[in-house]
A and B are shown apart, each in its own frame.
Chain A
Amino acid sequence: MEPGLYHLLFISAALFFIGVFGFFTRRNLITMLMSVELVLNSVNLNFIAFNKYLWPNKMDGLFFSIFVIAIAAAEAAVAIAIIINLYRSHQSIDVERTEQLKF
């Protein structure tokens, strides 16, 4: 069977829930960030698939995914700066130990 829109949507939904599973089970901040990256990538795949198979006369999906990639890069950089700063003050990046929200 020739792969089409539904196959791509299946892959992106599966990847989204793999990311959600990782976000629920992991307790290390870096691995939780990796799960968030998987979720964002599945959303990008969805946008591109809809753009290609349903509305090829426009480019809205393509631009959405490009902007999502840019914002995800900014998010990852800020998150890693926060994680490294947290490691300096707490010597741990486990979420169970980051309970105090003060300087």
Chain B
Amino acid sequence: MSGSTIIFYMLAALTLVSGVLAVTTRQIFRAAIFLLFSLIGIAGLYFWMQYDFVAAVQIIVYVGGITVLIIFSIFLTQQAGDLLPKPTIARQIFSALAAFCGFALTMLQLYQHKFIGTSEEPLLPTVSNIGERMLGIEANGFALPFEVVSVLLLAAMIGCIVIALRSKPATT
């Protein structure tokens, strides 16, 4: 068993265990922290696959951005020390059953299917290759989706500001 294999299983265990804890713990702040560890585990898996750029984006956007946003919104909306209400037993049982059946079905399909990949020369995911593809306008370029996503992000940011603005009192 090589070191790479051991690291893979450790990252997988970190991701899955903290994912399970994030959806089952009853303290909402701990749920956010476990979500953080799960996202770090996924970034570690990207590093393990040698997709460094995606791993860096994952850490910057998810770990540095979205988790901090979630923690701030928890501070704004929850009372400290409150436990989340326990879901009813029936709902827990049926949700676990639905999730488990879906998982079993997916795994069954997956292990019966034989994936056939290409045998061509690999294109390494270095930053220069990614940049050339992302802003390329020839075939296999992603300039149009890039522009569409930037417009979408702008619209989302303006929408957030408009939604979260405190409306003025009507009397003044």
> Total contacts A to B, CB within 8 angstroms?
213
A25 at interface, CB cutoff 8 A:
yes
A74 to B96, CA, bound (A): 30
Residues from chain B with Cβ under 8 Å of A76 in the complex:
66, 69-70
| Chain A interface extent, by class | 35 or more
Tell me which residues across on chain B come within 8 A of A2, comparing CB atoms: 2, 5
Interface of A is mostly: helix
- Residues of chain B within 8 A of A67, CB atoms compared: 145, 149
Q: Chain A's nearest CB lies how many Å from the CB of B94?
A: 8
A25 CB → nearest B CB, Å: 5
CB of A38, distance to nearest CB on chain B (Å): 6
Inter-chain contact B61/A74, CB cutoff 8 Å: no
> Judging by beta carbons under 8 Å apart, are A87 and B35 in contact?
no
- Pairwise interchain contact A81-B133, C-beta atoms closer than 8 A: no
Residues of B within 8 A of A14 (CB): 16, 19, 103
Are B77's CB and A30's CB within 8 A? yes
- B99 near A37 with CB under 8 A, answer no
CB distance from A47 to the nearest CB of B (A): 9
Closest to A96 in B: B85
A11, B45: Cβ atoms closer than 8 Å: yes
Q: Type the 1/0 row for B133-151, where 1 means its CB is closer than 8 Å to any CB of A.
A: 1100000101001000100
Contact bitstring B93-108, A, C-beta under 8 A = 1, else 0: 0111011101100110
Q: Which residues of chain B (3-41) have a CB below 8 Å from chain A?
A: 4-5, 8-9, 12, 15-16, 19-20, 22-24, 28, 31-32, 35, 38-39
B91→A31 contact, CB < 8 A: no
Chain B residues with CB below 8 A from A26, complex form? 23, 84, 87
Q: Is the CB of A13 within 8 A of B99?
A: no
- CB proximity to B under 8 Å, residues A1-52: 1-3, 5-11, 13-15, 17-22, 24-28, 30-31, 33-35, 37-38, 41, 44-45, 48-49, 51-52
Q: How many whole Å from A16's CB to the nearest CB in chain B?
A: 8
* The 9 residue pairs across chains A and B that have the minimum distance between CB atoms: A22-B23, A56-B122, A74-B156, A24-B95, A54-B117, A21-B99, A57-B120, A81-B160, A81-B164
